[in-house]
Structure 1
Amino acid sequence: MDSIEETFYSNDWKYPIDKFSRHEKCLKDKLQNRIGSKLNIAEIDWDLACFITDNTLNMILTELRNQAKEHYEGLKIRTYFIKQASARQGLKIDRPDEFDVLVPFEIGGLHLKEVSLTDISERQLPGQIRLCVEDVAQLERFPSLKREGVFEFNSGTCFINTNVLQEYVFKSLLDKALHNMNLVSYVYPFLYYLLSYTCTIELRKIYRGSRPPTLDLEIEHDILGTIAVDFVPALILSHEKISIPGNILSSEDKTIKFYRYGLMKWVNKRNTNIDEEYKNFIWRSCSSSYERFMFDLCDGNEERSYIRTACRVMKALVLQLRKRSNQAAVLLSSYRLKTIAMYCILLLTVPSELTSHSSRLNGVRKALGYFLTFLELVLEKECLPDFFLGNEYLDKIFPGSYFSNIHIKYNLFDKEDPTEVQSAKYGLPEMKNKLVGCFKIGKLNPRVVTFFREQTLSV
C-alpha cells in the first residue's frame, strides 16, 4: 500500500471505487436500478481516457512552453500539469470524458504583493485578491508582457491585468500551440495489460474554448470520441507546510506541503457588486490542493469512504434528474455536492466535541442520510458556504493554514438567480423518492445536525 505521503502527493487520476459495508451487499445493485448505470465506469475506458488525456496534454504543454519562450520574456510555464477535481478525487461518474488540470506558471523574478479585494460596499471579498508589482523598475525585464498591457496602473499602483493575461497572452499562446499540433497527425499505441489488448489511437483535432479562468479544450480522437479538459493557467502564489494532526490521519502528526495558486478571475460587466476599476485585476486564491487532500483522506478510512461513495451516488442522481429539469438538480453542480461531502468528512469523522458522543458511520445508507439532511438544510436556508472560506472548524484539519485564517464566509449560491435558489427546495422530494430504502435518517447525531444548521450555514 502507498504511504500516506505518497497518497497526498500523488498526481495520478484516481479510478472510482465505491465502498459499502458488509451489511450492504445488495445496496449498490439497488442504487444502480434506481439511478441507472451512471456509477459504473469500465476500467478499460478509464485507462484509455486517462492515457489519451495525459499524452495529449503533455504534447500541448511542450508546445505551449516553446511558444511562451519565443514570445514572452520571463513567462515560465512549468513542465507538468496538476490533476484535480473529480477524476483525481475518485469521484468520477458516468463516462471518463471530462478532466480538469491546473497549468502552473510564474513571471520569473517579478515580486508581487497580494492585496485584498472589496466590493462596492467596502466589504472584503473572501478568497479574491489583486496582485500588485512591488518594484515597477522590474517591468523593464518583461518588455513583451508590458507591451501587451499585462501591467496596468490604477490609482498609482501597478497591478497584473488578468483580463489581458488570459485573453491576449495565454489564449494567443495556446492557439499558436494548437495550430501547430493540428497540422500534424498523431498516432500512438495503447497497451492494456490486464486484457492483453493493444490498439492505436489517432488524435484528430483539438479545439479551444474559453470560460474564465478556464481555457476549455476538446480532444477529438478515434476511440472514445471527444474528451473535454478544463485547462486552467495557475500562477504559483505560495506554498505552506502544515502539520496535519495525527487524529486526522490515524497515525502520528505529519507535515504536508500545500501549494496555493492564483486563478485569473476577471469578471464581466454584469457583475454589479465589484467596482468597475477593479474588474480586470481579480485573482481567485485557489484551494484545489487542499480539496484534493480532503478526498485523499478517504483512502483506507471506511467512514470517509462511505461519504465519498454517497457523494458519487448523489452526483449520479443529480445527473439523471437534471435531464428532467428537477429544480434542485439544476442548482447542484459537482463542486457544490463535493462541498457538502467535505462538510460530512469534517463534522462526522474528525474527532471533536461534536463527534465524541456519536456512533460510528456504519455504511453508505447512514452517509446518505447525513448527506440528504445537510442538503435539505442547505436548500431551506438557500445557503451553502464555501468549505475553505470562513469555516470555523477548518483549523482542526489545516491548523494555521492560509485558508483557516480567513474568517469571512462566501455563499456558493451568491451569483445564482435568487428565484432558482428559492425553488430548488421543491426538487428535493423527488430526490428522496428515488433513494427510498437506500438511506437512513434515524439516529443521526443531533449535535452535528444542529451545528451544521446554526453555525455552518450562518453567513
Structure 2
Amino acid sequence: MATAKNLDNEWNQPYHVYGPGEGKLRRRILRQVGDYRIDQKEWQAETKETEKFLGNLTSKICENSGKFNSEFQVSRDYVKQASGRQGLKINSPDEFDIVVPIHLTGLDIQQAKVRNSDGKIMAGLHRQRVLNKDMSTTHPRLSHEGVFQRQGGNVFLNSKSFHEKVWTGIVDKALEDVRKDMPNYKIVRSVHPPTVNVQITSPTGRVINYDVVPGVSLKTETIRIPEKITGKQAMVVNLPIFALPKHDNKNSPVIHDKDRSLIWRNDTSSHERCMADLCKNSDQRRYIMTASRILKSAIKTLQEEQNHLGHLINSYHLKTIAYKTVYDLTMRDSKRNLTGVKDALGHQITALNKCVSERYLNDFFQGNEDLEKIFPGSELTKNHRQQNLFWKANPNLMMSARYGIPKLTGNLNGCFTCINGQ
C-alpha cells in the first residue's frame, strides 16, 4: 500500500465556481438569492484571528487539564471541521467548529450498541464499556467526577458526567485565563452537548461563535480510496476516529432511561473532511458544492421569512444532499455530465423536494451502503442501520414544510434546471 497521508487541517475558502457561459446565471442568482459570497480578504483576516484565538484557547485548555494528566491528555492540535473546513460557509466567516482530541490513558474500552425502545440499534450512537477492574485506583479523579457508571455487571463511561463535570469545567477555567488576555471583549459560553459554544463580541460589535467539541480518540484507520472515487489515482489517507459525548439531554422517548447519560456519538468529521477534499479538484463536484451554498442561502432567506421549510432544513441536511449528489453524479459507474451550477442546483432541489415529500433523508455518513465504495473497510461501513435525519422533527412541521417548496423554487426561478419534471 502507498504511503498514507494525513488530511490537511486548514480552513477552506468557500466555493464560488460556475461553469462556462454561466456569468449571466451568476448575476441572476446574486440578484434573486442575495450575495452569499465571502470576501477573500475578510476570510483571510477572520481565519487568521480565529487561528490566534483557538490556539490560545486550546493551549489554556491543556494547561487547565493538568490535574487529569495521569488519566487523560488533551491534544494541543485541534481538528478543524464543519462548513469552515469544508468550504461551505456563506455570507460571513462568523462561526468555526473544532474537535479537541482527548487520549484516555490506561483504559481498555469496548464499544457497545445502543438500542431504542423498540429494540432496534440506533445508528451512529454507542456506549463505551470499560473492561478495567479498579478505576477508582487507576483513575481516581475521573471516578470522583462520576465518569465510571456501573450497570448490569458492566462499567460504562458516563458521557454526561465527562462533558458537564470534566470537560466544561476545564474549558471554563481556560476561558477565565483567556478573558484576562482579552479584557475589551465580551466572552460568553453555552453548552449544547457535545459542544461548548464560545461567543466572542469584539469592541466593534463583531460577533464570532466557536463550537469546541471534545473527541475521545478511538483509533486512526488507514483507507485506500479507489481511482473511481478520486477521479485520478488512488489515494491512501489516515482518518482519525473520535467518540463525542452526546448524552440525551432532551429526554427522547425512544431512549431508555438507563442509557441517557451513557450515549456517545460516532464522529464522522474525518470522513466529511475527506469528502470535501475529494471535491476540490473536480469542476463538476465544485459546481455541486457551489450550488449547495446557493441553496443554503435560499433556505436562510426562508428562515428569516418564518417559512416552515426554512425551519425544517438545516445546513447538515443540505450538506448531506450535496454529498449524495456528488456520489450519484460523479462517483458511480454511470457518470453524468454536469455542465455547471444550473444543473447541479436542479439536482439538489429535486432531491430536497423528494426527501421533504417522503419525510425521509438518510444520513450520508451513517448506515449508507455506498460508503463501502468510497471508504472501503472503514468502521463506518460496518453500521448498516440507516438514520433518518428527520427523526426528531415535529410531525406538524414536516407536513407544513412541503408547502414551502413553491416559495423556494419561486425565489430561484430561472436559476436551476428542471430535473425529471420536478
1:393 aligns with 370
Residue 72 of structure 1 deviates from its aligned partner by 5.7
- In the alignment, structure 2 segments of 5+ residues that lack a partner are none
Q: Does 1:213 align with 2:194?
A: yes
Farther off after superposition, 23-32 or 133-142: 133-142
| 2:135/2:143 contact within 8 Å kept | no
Note the aligned Cα RMSD (angstroms): 1.8
TM-score, structure 2 normalization:
0.95
- Secondary structure, aligned partner of 2:388: coil
Quote the Cα distance in structure 2 between the aligned partners of 1:143 and 1:435: 59
- In the alignment, structure 1 segments of 5+ residues that lack a partner are 187-202, 450-459
Count of residue pairs the alignment pairs up = 420
2:280 paired residue among 299, 311, 334 = 299
Residue 407 of structure 1 deviates from its aligned partner by 1.1
2:7 aligns with 9
2:358 aligns with 381
1:198 aligns with none
- Secondary structure, aligned partner of 2:65: helix
Query: Share of identical aligned residues, percent?
Result: 32
Quote the Cα distance in structure 2 between the aligned partners of 1:253 and 1:71: 42
1:189 aligns with none
Question: Quick one: which amino acid aligns to residue 310 of structure 1?
Answer: A
TM-score, structure 1 normalization:
0.88
- Deviation per CA, 1:185-225, whole angstroms, max 9, x where unpaired? 47xxxxxxxxxxxxxxxx62422110111100012323561
- Secondary structure, aligned partner of 2:261: coil
2:56 aligns with 59
Residue 424 of structure 1 deviates from its aligned partner by 0.9
| 2:16/2:37 contact within 8 Å kept | no
Structure with more contact order per residue of length (Cα contacts < 8 Å, sep ≥ 6): 2
Quote the Cα distance in structure 2 between the aligned partners of 1:403 and 1:71: 31
Q: Does 1:82 align with 2:79?
A: yes
- Deviation per CA, 1:68-94, whole angstroms, max 9, x where unpaired? 113563221001111111111111101
Quote the Cα distance in structure 2 between the aligned partners of 1:240 and 1:71: 27
With over 3 angstroms needed to count, the CA separation of the structure-2 counterparts of 1:367 and 1:177, relative to structure 1, is: same
Quote the Cα distance in structure 2 between the aligned partners of 1:429 and 1:16: 28
Residues 271-420 of structure 1: pairs in structure 2 closer than 5 A:
271-352=252-333, 355=334, 359-420=336-397
Q: Does 1:248 align with 2:246?
A: no
- Secondary structure, aligned partner of 2:61: helix
Farther off after superposition, 334-343 or 60-69: 60-69
| 1:72/1:142 contact within 8 Å kept | no
Question: Quick one: which amino acid aligns to residue 30 of structure 1?
Answer: R
Quote the Cα distance in structure 2 between the aligned partners of 1:72 and 1:278: 28
1:257 aligns with 238
| 1:322/1:329 contact within 8 Å kept | yes
Quote the Cα distance in structure 2 between the aligned partners of 1:240 and 1:184: 39
1:453 aligns with none
- Secondary structure, aligned partner of 1:270: coil
Question: Quick one: which amino acid aligns to residue 302 of structure 1?
Answer: D
Quote the Cα distance in structure 2 between the aligned partners of 1:295 and 1:424: 29
Quote the Cα distance in structure 2 between the aligned partners of 1:300 and 1:153: 50
Quote the Cα distance in structure 2 between the aligned partners of 1:220 and 1:151: 38
Quote the Cα distance in structure 1 between the aligned partners of 2:137 and 2:231: 52
Residue 63 of structure 1 deviates from its aligned partner by 1.1
| 2:194/2:245 contact within 8 Å kept | yes
Quote the Cα distance in structure 1 between the aligned partners of 2:26 and 2:411: 14
- Secondary structure, aligned partner of 1:136: coil
With over 3 angstroms needed to count, the CA separation of the structure-2 counterparts of 1:5 and 1:317, relative to structure 1, is: farther
| 1:213/1:265 contact within 8 Å kept | yes
Residue 401 of structure 1 deviates from its aligned partner by 1.3
- Secondary structure, aligned partner of 1:210: strand
Quote the Cα distance in structure 1 between the aligned partners of 2:229 and 2:68: 47
Quote the Cα distance in structure 2 between the aligned partners of 1:103 and 1:422: 39
Quote the Cα distance in structure 1 between the aligned partners of 2:186 and 2:59: 17
With over 3 angstroms needed to count, the CA separation of the structure-2 counterparts of 1:164 and 1:443, relative to structure 1, is: closer
